[in-house]
Structure 1
Amino acid sequence: MQYLEGRKYVVQGIFLVVALIFLTRLFFMQVLDGTYKLAADKNTLQRLVQTPYRGLIYDRKNLPLVQNTPVYDLMVVPREVKQLDSAKFCELLQIPIEDLRARMLAAKKYSRNKPSPVVQNLTTQDLAAIQDKLMDFPGFRPQTRMARAYNTHNLAHALGYVGAITPAFLEKPKYAKYQPGENIGISGLEAYYESTLMGRRGVQFKMVNVRGIEKGKFRDGEFDTLSVAGQDLHLTIDSELQAYGEKLLAGRRGSIVAIEPKTGEILAFVSAPHFDPALLTGKGAGNRYMDLLNNPNLPLFDRPLQASYSPGSVFKLVNELVALQLGVVTPNTPFECNQKLVHCTHRHEYPRNVDIAIKQSCNPYFYQVMRAAILRGQAPNKYDDSRIGLAQWQKMVKSFGLGEKLGVDMSQEKRGLIPSPEFYDKKFFDKKRNRQQRWSYRNVYSLSIGQGEVQVTGIQMANILATIANRGWYYTPHFVRGIGNGGPLPQFQQKHFTAVDTTLFKYVIPGMQMVVDGNGGTGELASLAQFGITMAGKTGTVQNPHGFDHATFAAFAPVNDPKIAIAVFIENSGFGGTSAAPAAGLMIEKYLRGHVAGYRKRWEDWVMYGDFTRKLHSM
């Protein structure tokens, strides 16, 4: 019995110790949460989140593009606010009383015990003017935050912007660690690489009295943790080339994308019209954003990634390569320029081979090339034969990175469209009679010249030329060549091969050279032969049902050692050879030579200010 009695006391003792530990821990958690008042000296424990420095952004030559600058947010802990004199407070902060009420309501809705922003983006001067008077308003205190500062007026669409995290974001588990008022990447690279740039937060615990005056660290900083700065991004962008491209397209609508074929690195990413990235930072950023959003020229629209165009005659290169792979044509296969099949834009020499056909961009020739690829006698009638052939064609074309997202390190990329048999089943379904109408190659032939339903983005077009430059493969285009001290993400170091044998690409390149440097080539205004630079390219004029045709030109150079592949779209600019081609030539000259020859300023003026709706005479 004595043994059992003693054992009972031991068990009770254990329970007592466990209870004491639990109560002590509960007491400590209350203290750390900032909700327990230390009655002995009337001090309060503040838990201060230390926001880390956001990673910086550099261009390919390690010139800083985006840095950090300190700003201050005035935070409020609703539970600590006592008898707020709203009128006096609003006079101090120069804000409408309605705004204060709305922000206080939002703060209470979020948490009565955690800080929420009341006024953001205060400068050092702003804070100095009000700091002493804040002692009269318990519950309000300033918090330092790092905002973005820009050393460039360009590249806004790629860089994206940061902004205060919204209540809707805070409700998502993915953003559980964020605090109200903290910045988060909203678009572009800032958003795609958010977890890399944001770093890791730290925490400090401080004692303050009822007037908000610091009384020292809690337990000598025993429970503090240090913040860790975000990692820097080293971009593939050539800042000088980017600025030059934005200069050329100022006042236009369109895009320019330049890629280094051997690496997939994006050298220039121009969306026109563009805007200064600094517009979306600092005081008044919200109003400036709305101004951009409501601008009828759509400067916020990211054309290289989001605008889908018919590719026009540039797409003939892909169709020729698919036909060569299927063995239905050879480089020396002749086709008559039969305008009963499809209209050809101008008279030209007989297209006795693919070189001449590409040089002259002969529409009837490529009509017959694609017809040979689609109608291969795989079914007894033309309808089933068209359906089978188109399905095989679509699969091969998509291997060029078309009809799907390429996987660029930006979230807003569009897929474009490479139509399938199912697409045309839906298009030709007779809803009135509730029956399927049959279709054949004759219904889809516009695909052969890059018109009709086929749609590509500017970055996909540039990637087609990078793929041809590499003779059949590409790396996924990307903006970041280094993260911290490392390289790009693994997915940007993987080669992608098309469904066309690499040995066949050489057959389309001579004709592309003739487009630029041949006598009477459609892209001769892009030529850099006077500087000893060889170029292979293709012009395109894209039909536009809503107005004047769009112009495009895509090329790579030098031919035998490609260092740049480029695609230019200029909306409502007519023939690609007279608008997009000279723009591309100037960009390639700028990149390969480092400057544009002075006597070629007339072409700069033409691209920037010329009337593309009139016929171009000799310049």
Structure 2
Amino acid sequence: MNGLFERKYIIQGIFIAVAIVIASRLFYLQLIDETYLLSANNNVLRKMVIYPARGVILDREGKVLVQNEPVYDLLVTPREVVDLDTALLCELVGIDREGFERRMTTARNYSPYKASQFEKQIPASAYAKLQEHLYKFRGFYVQNRTVRNYPDSIAAQFLGYIQEVNDRDIERSNKFYRPGDYIGATGVESAYEELLRGQRGVKNVMVDAFNRPQGVFAEGKYDTLAVAGDELVSSLDKELQVLAEKLMRNKIGSVVAIEPATGEILTFVSSPSYDPNMMVGRERGNNYMKLLNDPFKPMFIRPIQAQYPPGSIFKVVNALTAQQAGMIDEHTIFNCPGGYRYGGGRAIMRCTHVDGSIPLVTAIQRSCNTYFGYSYARMIDHRNLPTAEAYTLWRNAVMKFGIGESLGIDLPGEKSGLLPTADYYTKRYGNARWGSGFNISLSIGQGEMGVTPLQMANIMAIVANRGFYYRPHLIKAIGEKKIAKPEFTEKISAGVDAKYYEPVVEGLSRAVNVPGGTGYSVRIADIEMCGKTGTAQNPHGADHAVFFAFAPRDNPKIAIAVVVENAGYGGVWAGPIASMLIEQYIKDTITLPKYIQDRIFNADLLPKLETGKSTEADKVTSSRRADPRKDPEEEPLFVHHRILANRHD
């Protein structure tokens, strides 16, 4: 009997314990835990991401280069889609039934319960029609966005473009980005992404069962504001950039102009270019593939990625480093019989003149190959050092001019150029007993040397400054406080004393301003421009036309390098382009004879793609040899000895 009573109390205890647990759970769920409250709220509360306006980019005078324009992303939550008028939605969005099914499948695979993008970047005109009917499409709603707009359609490679993030971008950002976000992919957009992107905000909006907005939640108490990206002031001169791109139309090559006193890049042209607006909007993918497959490679950033034999500009570096090493001075004279003999006299590097006894200034003015062959030989063969050590000393001196290493421009993808080490030649020739004759073409900027157009312009900036430079850069000020990056205010020495620059500058001045100089035809009235034409040998076709200069001689305002691929003589094609840009920048006018201007503006030097047909570059090459008016002194002539038979140009 007692056992019965004991079981009774046990059963009662169990029921009481269960009742207490249930009551406690109800108390917790109803008064403490907010999960169900939030779930209920989510039925009527939508968190709208507010995307910030990306920072605008201005030119050096405050003129807009890149701005934003509104677009709209259509989002869908698949679980909420009911009673959909598919035909009407497809008509308003501009897609077909197959496209609709594909988008819905992607959304369901992402999540039936979370919103994801259905259609991106709907323009304002299309959104106006969609908005009138949006209440009919339950489960669909619109997210406001902005995309880039380029009002002048210039400087595509300089500015770059943005693209949708991928999984790798999201992972590297520590989940800052989310699917559907945009990120700078190239150019300034990529280099300054963290400053341009801004900070997202959130707006809590009440909606009814038909997805219609009913006002803000809690009077915006829980909303956060979006913070716009920083404004960037570029170093680019917009008007000069427009002119440079017109001059380079239908040509392959580069133009880089630098302000020597600051390192700010005034003009940055990679040609052929493209309209940066092609990389915005719903046709972006198709346009990207067209550009990617273009045989002239418009997405290749030639100013920092193309590497050319520098040709005559390197004679300037040769002269300066040889003076600093004490191998020559401004009074040093070499005899030029029409070429420099090497390899025991069995090979010759020709000049286009028989200059006889020639000093340094005249050698630069007349671009005497012989003179610089001798000066290079002294650097390598006459320093009482093993060849490898002497060459390494020479190479280190050359690298201080920014050759063979990247300059650190604020753009991704910069190439360092080419300047072989001593080990390269030791391995190539099988022993360390090689001398200057084995790579004598380096003395005049040919052979195994490669220099980017940016490096060429920077060399001219060094000469303009008489021995130093500031790191070339594209952005001069950041944000409202106009902050400048400290690395762009550092003064960098090229390792040659200022006194050694004067004979070089005099030679460059005579090359342009004295009759008989290789650049005399492009001189500028009332401006003493110091420069040098060049014809860089190209083993793959017609030679490249090159011109590099700075102006004026005293207190220089601009240093420039122009490369026109496969065009022939520098004085015929690159020289006039540089001359017009320099005069426009300094005097705001162009006085070069109109027939020369017309020839440059109207020329089509793009290689013809049809097999078996001669290209414009071919015509230029053949005509220059037949027409003595086209600077025959620039013709680079080599008679190769067998030790150069394997030259890797």
TM-score grouping bracket, smaller chain normalisation: 0.7 to 0.9
Aligned letter for 1:51? Y
**2:498 counterpart of 1:502:** yes
TM-score, structure 2 normalization: 0.84
**Which residue of the partner structure matches residue 44 of structure 1?**
44
Q: Is the 8 A contact 1:252 1:272 kept in 2?
A: yes
Q: Give SS of 1:310's match.
A: coil
**2:201 counterpart of 1:202:** yes
**Which residue of the partner structure matches residue 470 of structure 1?**
465
> Once the two structures are superposed, what CA deviation does each residue of 1:87-140 show, in whole Å capped at 9, x if it has no partner?
664344332344334434444455555432221221222112223433343322
**Which residue of the partner structure matches residue 138 of structure 1?**
138
Tell me how far apart the structure 2 counterparts of residues 405 and 314 of structure 1 sit (CA, whole Å).
Answer: 18
**Which residue of the partner structure matches residue 437 of structure 2?**
442
**Which residue of the partner structure matches residue 294 of structure 1?**
293
**2:490 counterpart of 1:482:** no
Residues 1:495 and 1:208: Cα distance change in structure 2 (over 3 Å): same
Tell me how far apart the structure 2 counterparts of residues 505 and 304 of structure 1 sit (CA, whole Å).
Answer: 26
TM-score, structure 1 normalization: 0.88
**Which residue of the partner structure matches residue 569 of structure 1?**
563
**Which residue of the partner structure matches residue 511 of structure 2?**
515
Tell me how far apart the structure 2 counterparts of residues 195 and 103 of structure 1 sit (CA, whole Å).
Answer: 31
Tell me how far apart the structure 2 counterparts of residues 448 and 555 of structure 1 sit (CA, whole Å).
Answer: 20
Map 1:181-220 onto structure 2 (within 5 A): 181-220=180-219
Q: Is the 8 A contact 1:254 1:569 kept in 2?
A: yes
Q: Is the 8 A contact 1:378 1:388 kept in 2?
A: no
Deviation at 1:512, TM superposition (A): 0.8
Q: Give SS of 1:465's match.
A: helix
Q: Give SS of 1:512's match.
A: helix
**Which residue of the partner structure matches residue 642 of structure 2?**
none
Residues 1:596 and 1:261: Cα distance change in structure 2 (over 3 Å): same
Deviation at 1:455, TM superposition (A): 0.6
**2:594 counterpart of 1:601:** yes
> Once the two structures are superposed, what CA deviation does each residue of 1:561-583 show, in whole Å capped at 9, x if it has no partner?
10000001011111212221122
**2:535 counterpart of 1:541:** yes
Tell me how far apart the structure 2 counterparts of residues 305 and 427 of structure 1 sit (CA, whole Å).
Answer: 28
Deviation at 1:495, TM superposition (A): 0.9
Q: Give SS of 2:206's match.
A: strand
**2:402 counterpart of 1:406:** no
Tell me how far apart the structure 1 counterparts of residues 389 and 407 of structure 2 sit (CA, whole Å).
Answer: 26
Q: Is the 8 A contact 2:336 2:355 kept in 1?
A: no
> Once the two structures are superposed, what CA deviation does each residue of 1:404-436 show, in whole Å capped at 9, x if it has no partner?
11111111211111211123344446xxxxxx6
Tell me how far apart the structure 1 counterparts of residues 191 and 460 of structure 2 sit (CA, whole Å).
Answer: 26
Tell me how far apart the structure 1 counterparts of residues 321 and 99 of structure 2 sit (CA, whole Å).
Answer: 62
**Which residue of the partner structure matches residue 27 of structure 1?**
35
Q: Give SS of 2:395's match.
A: helix
**Which residue of the partner structure matches residue 10 of structure 1?**
none
Map 1:60-71 onto structure 2 (within 5 A): 60-71=60-71
Residues 1:471 and 1:205: Cα distance change in structure 2 (over 3 Å): same
Aligned letter for 1:99? G
Residues 1:617 and 1:143: Cα distance change in structure 2 (over 3 Å): farther
Q: RMSD in angstroms over aligned alpha carbons?
A: 2.6
> Once the two structures are superposed, what CA deviation does each residue of 1:321-369 show, in whole Å capped at 9, x if it has no partner?
1111111111111112252343334124335211111111111211111
Tell me how far apart the structure 1 counterparts of residues 436 and 30 of structure 2 sit (CA, whole Å).
Answer: 78
Tell me how far apart the structure 2 counterparts of residues 167 and 77 of structure 1 sit (CA, whole Å).
Answer: 22
Q: Is the 8 A contact 1:307 1:457 kept in 2?
A: yes
Map 1:47-58 onto structure 2 (within 5 A): 47-58=47-58
Tell me how far apart the structure 2 counterparts of residues 372 and 405 of structure 1 sit (CA, whole Å).
Answer: 28
Map 1:194-273 onto structure 2 (within 5 A): 194-273=193-272
Larger radius of gyration: 2
Q: Is the 8 A contact 2:204 2:216 kept in 1?
A: yes
Q: Give SS of 2:303's match.
A: helix
**Which residue of the partner structure matches residue 363 of structure 2?**
357
- Runs of 4 or more off by more than 6 Å in structure 1? 19-23
Aligned letter for 2:35? F
Higher mean displacement: 62-71 or 133-142: 133-142
Tell me how far apart the structure 2 counterparts of residues 86 and 427 of structure 1 sit (CA, whole Å).
Answer: 70
Deviation at 1:522, TM superposition (A): 1.1
Tell me how far apart the structure 2 counterparts of residues 265 and 480 of structure 1 sit (CA, whole Å).
Answer: 8
Aligned letter for 1:349? D
Aligned letter for 2:544? H
Tell me how far apart the structure 2 counterparts of residues 21 and 314 of structure 1 sit (CA, whole Å).
Answer: 80
Q: Is the 8 A contact 1:71 1:122 kept in 2?
A: yes
Higher mean displacement: 574-583 or 602-611: 602-611
Gaps of 5+ in 1: 1-15, 380-384, 430-435
Q: Once the two structures are aligned, what percentage of the paired residues are identical?
A: 41
Q: Is the 8 A contact 2:260 2:557 kept in 1?
A: yes
Q: Is the 8 A contact 1:579 1:612 kept in 2?
A: no
Gaps of 5+ in 2: 1-23, 343-347, 604-618, 631-649
Tell me how far apart the structure 1 counterparts of residues 84 and 155 of structure 2 sit (CA, whole Å).
Answer: 45
